[in-house]
Amino acid sequence: MNVSAGFIRKPVATAFLTIGITLIGLVAFFQLPISALPTVDTPTIQVTAQLPGADPQTMGSSVATPLERQFGQIAGLTVMSSSSGLGNTQITLQFALNRNVDAAAQDVQTAINAASGQLPKNMPSPPIFRKINPADVPVLLIALTSDTQPLTKVNDYADSILAQKLSQVPGVSLVTIGGAQKPSIRVQVNPAKLAAAGSISNSSVQRWASRPSTSRRARSTGRSNPSRWPLTTRS
């Protein structure tokens, strides 16, 4: 049976059929939905840990590293990235598409519990996590400046007033603050001179540095050099 024989015998009908199929294809083409970013529900979880006063290097070695070691053992984990700043560490975990995000969240919680014994004891709260969409981008960026107030005061306004008000707006899922500047005090102590003076001891300075209003990181710079305690307020 020759399939093309009928089209050859009826060229007019064949021409109209071709034109009709072409028109239908053109109409369907312009009706196709187009998405620059296709909706793909990638199982992604973001873990946040805070240690007020700790520098980025301390956050990376003392907080991020133990957590990453435990997260690396979770099945189905494809991408893990972390970012450490002043007193804050964020770890983003991306799982395979066939992995259920709720089951992955349970594994993340188990890993956090397993790493809790390796985390600093003075962390004010355990690490928290939340489900995120990696395709989300900030829809609004607000810059705060002041000619009369210091940056620490501007940051306090942004943290205590503006961020809380914005988070109460319907539809807002996340408000983050960048470029913060926290007030700090650096105390340098010479143990030899303190012992000779007899007025104050290293233990006194260490007790003062460990008060709840401050956070400390003690570091000895050598036998003959002073010991340093950088203090950063938590307010």
- pTM value? 0.54
Instruction: Tokens 């985390």: give the residue.
Output: 119
Topology of the domain comprising 44-131: Alpha-Beta Plaits (3.30.70)
User: In the Cβ-directed half-sphere of 48, how many Cα atoms lie within 13 Å?
Assistant: 12
Q: What are phi and psi of 76, to 5 degrees?
A: 85, 5
* Closest alpha carbon to 227 in 214, 212, 201, 199: 201
Interval 194-223: pLDDT, tens: 677 765 555 555 555 555 444 444 443 334
Interval 97-143: pLDDT, tens: 888 888 999 999 999 999 999 998 888 889 999 888 766 666 788 88
74: its two tokens:
């979770």
Please give the distance of CA 232 from its chain centroid, rounded to a whole number: 22
Interval 27-48: pLDDT, tens: 988 888 776 666 667 889 999 9
- Per-residue pLDDT at 64 exceeds 70: yes
- Per-residue pLDDT at 189 exceeds 50: yes
- Per-residue pLDDT at 229 exceeds 60: no
